[in-house]
Structure 1
Amino acid sequence: MRRRPSRGVPRRPPVANGDGTVYQRKDSRWEAAGYVLAPGNTRRRVRVYGTTRKEALAKLTEKIANSNRGLPVPSAQGSVAAYLTYWLENVAVHHLRENTHTRYTACVDRYLIPGLGKKKLIKLTAKDVRTWLNQLRTTCQCCTRHIDARRDQPHCCAVSRCCSKRLSPLTLTYIHSVLKSALEHAVREEEIPRNVARNVRTGTPRPRRFEPLTADEARQFLNTAQDHRLRALFELALHTGLRKGELLGLNWEDLDLDAGTAAIRRTLQRTNAGGLTTLPTKTRASERRIALPARCAQSLKLHREQQKREREAAGTAWQHSVHVFTTAQGRPIDPTNLSRVFNTLLRQAGLRRIRFHDLRHSTATLLLEQGVELVVIKELLGHAHIGVTATVYAHVRLRLQHEAVTALGNALDRP
């Protein structure tokens, strides 16, 4: 005899075959369970939880959908090495820029897997992470990674004379951040209950020191670059603080030389897979429109005429390109080659060697010294948050504060 449903109690919607089971626990949470693809081409039962039936079912449906697309779901009972490999190959590769993914992979292979790879993911503790980081901090990398043994002329552990080559605080912080990112995804997938790496403090490393050009040095550099075919590029770099990739990724359609503006939409980078590749800007805030000084607008007009003459001289050898800055044959400029040209100009100008990126720091420093507000510099440089600008150039602001309070003291000391 068919039972009649109780009045006032809504019937649960049926669950389709293969969608698993969904039920409410005694603690009022909802639990959904089903079978998904696991590493080794096996299947295992997973459980997910939610505050509502709909939420729990949605989480399970997502895992089953990924499983049907052939993406294995890692097991928390598996090793940290297995999970990191899964995370790099199936998750991070879709969310990171190619060069960033390459750096993450090197970090995992070089430090994370050798140090923590054998531990079970579910049993990894904050103490394990802290102990491992302390060991990295105090151990010579030549000895640990057997670097010296692979050298043609060993000069460290292979000859019993340790050079004590240790990782910098900045590198340790980077390694820690990669581990946190991987474990954070494991938490989102409910493989582990919490991100134990977040409970470990590595300390805030000192920001990398840079030596921006002074106003006199900047003038000296521009005078030396006056006759170079890329004069317009170096003027634009020093006047606007654009990144190297942003300069090389500029197209003529991005420029409005009559209005004196430039739209920063893309960056040019060399990747392992695609060679010289045009990519989106570093962050969403990096995509911006900036004002061009009259001097730069005039230099770019002259550069356009020069490019036309180079195209006529190259004839059929010209590579049709929409880039503003190209080689004499019309090809995009390799970032490494631009750095070589920059270093040559520094030597010719009799200036100390700095990185190309320090031109960007020079722009911001000189603007700060001219009294330009921090928010204007932040928009020009394309920083995501004004806190980034304030942190990077804190030493400049501190020097300006010293000058300001000294001037005030002199004024107050006068009768």
Structure 2
Amino acid sequence: MKLSEFYPEYMSSCDGLRESTRVGYESAYRVHLQAAFGDVELLDITVQRVETWAAQYADHPGACRKAWAVLRQMLRKAAKWGVIPYDPCSAGVTLPRKKAYTPPTITAKETKTLLQGMWGHPLEALMIVATVCGLRRGEACGLQWEDIDLRRGVVHIRRSVQYVAGHIVVEQPKTLLSKRDIPLPRFAVNRLRQLKGKGRLIGDLTPLQVARKIKTWCRQHHLPSIPLSNLRTSWATNALEAGVDLKLVSGILGHASIETTARYYLVPHIEAYKEAQRRYERFLLAS
């Protein structure tokens, strides 16, 4: 059986996928896998063949790894179903190394400046909650005023909104732990009480339109500007620098494990490193 013949069977077995994930799989197959492996018999897909294909993506390692993940899942499923005797790539495949990436973040002082600069903006409520709760962009855009309990000062994360294939998709949060309740700082509760409205915090906008409007506003008013999704990284970084326990930060972010938090969200600012050295110096000189 050729990969192109197996692909429809594989996709029909993925009923539980989020729509955004399904679209991503379909895109990876169409753009990166179909031409290279579509007419190849499953038994002829070897480690050497895959590594030869992967070598062409030296300048685009991210795209390669995403496409490889889809191919790997298909081969595993084929082996599980008995279509092929074993997964030919189970021994491991050498893929292009991803370049080191440090997500942009803003400091606590810059965060304060940003929130002050959003005062009166139609998306101010969204920015407050997204910034002080470390939300994913989809989680922030999925919030409704009914999700914010201002009496208790708690935000209930119950859905995520994505813009997929030209339309809005409302989905469950990313993981089981992503469905969570997050306490709000007192200043946020006080301001949200003044802004209290109804319906979605973003109105009829799409997540992409929200991101563009915020970026334009920040540029026009000379405010600290980072992608909306990186407000999450900034919250985690600043919370950890403030001394919040890693496990608590992981729980508020809705991560499945603290390893994820430590690996991707612990991005100390230079001032944190300086403070570490000052503490070391005091300890050293006092010895």
TM-score after normalising by structure 2 = 0.90
1:260-306 superposed Cα distances (whole Å, 9 cap, x missing partner): 11211111222337x223211111111111111112222222222xx
How do residues 205-354 of structure 1 correspond to structure 2 at under 5 angstroms?
205-206=98-99, 208-272=101-165, 275-304=167-196, 307=197, 323-327=199-203, 332-351=204-223, 353-354=225-226
- Larger RCO: Structure 1 or Structure 2 (Cα < 8 Å, ≥ 6 residues apart)? 2
Number of residue equivalences = 286
- Report the residue type matching 2:78 in the other structure: A
Q: Residues 246 and 207 from structure 1, CA distance in 2 versus in 1: closer, same or farther, beyond 3 angstroms?
A: farther
Question: What's the counterpart of residue 105 of structure 1?
Answer: 26
TM-score after normalising by structure 1 = 0.64
Question: What's the counterpart of residue 153 of structure 1?
Answer: none
How far, CA to CA, are the matches of 1:414 and 1:230 in structure 2? 51
- Report the residue type matching 2:260 in the other structure: V
Contact 1:179-1:197 at 8 Å conserved across structures: no
How do residues 14-413 of structure 1 correspond to structure 2 at under 5 angstroms?
78-88=1-11, 90-92=12-14, 94-137=15-58, 166-167=59-60, 169-198=61-90, 199-202=92-95, 205-206=98-99, 208-272=101-165, 275-304=167-196, 307=197, 323-327=199-203, 332-351=204-223, 353-396=225-268, 400=272, 403-404=275-276, 406-413=278-285
Question: What's the counterpart of residue 314 of structure 1?
Answer: none
How far, CA to CA, are the matches of 2:261 and 2:202 in structure 1? 31
Contact 2:113-2:224 at 8 Å conserved across structures: no
Q: CA deviation at 1:121?
A: 0.7
Question: What's the counterpart of residue 162 of structure 1?
Answer: none
Cα RMSD (Å) of the superposition? Answer: 2.3
Q: Residues 249 and 135 from structure 1, CA distance in 2 versus in 1: closer, same or farther, beyond 3 angstroms?
A: closer
Contact 2:107-2:269 at 8 Å conserved across structures: no
Secondary structure at the aligned position of 1:175 is classed as: helix
Q: CA deviation at 1:353?
A: 4.3
Q: CA deviation at 1:400?
A: 4.5
Q: CA deviation at 1:226?
A: 0.8
How far, CA to CA, are the matches of 1:242 and 1:105 in structure 2? 27
Q: Residues 135 and 337 from structure 1, CA distance in 2 versus in 1: closer, same or farther, beyond 3 angstroms?
A: closer
Q: CA deviation at 1:394?
A: 4.1
Identity %: 29
- Report the residue type matching 1:287 in the other structure: K
How far, CA to CA, are the matches of 2:205 and 2:130 in structure 1? 15
1:78-131 superposed Cα distances (whole Å, 9 cap, x missing partner): 11222123322x123x12211211121111111111112222112321111112
* Structure 2 segments unaligned to the other structure (5+ residues): none
Q: CA deviation at 1:409?
A: 3.1
Q: Residues 190 and 132 from structure 1, CA distance in 2 versus in 1: closer, same or farther, beyond 3 angstroms?
A: same
Q: Residues 86 and 335 from structure 1, CA distance in 2 versus in 1: closer, same or farther, beyond 3 angstroms?
A: same
Contact 1:249-1:323 at 8 Å conserved across structures: no
Structure with larger Rg: 1
Secondary structure at the aligned position of 1:201 is classed as: coil
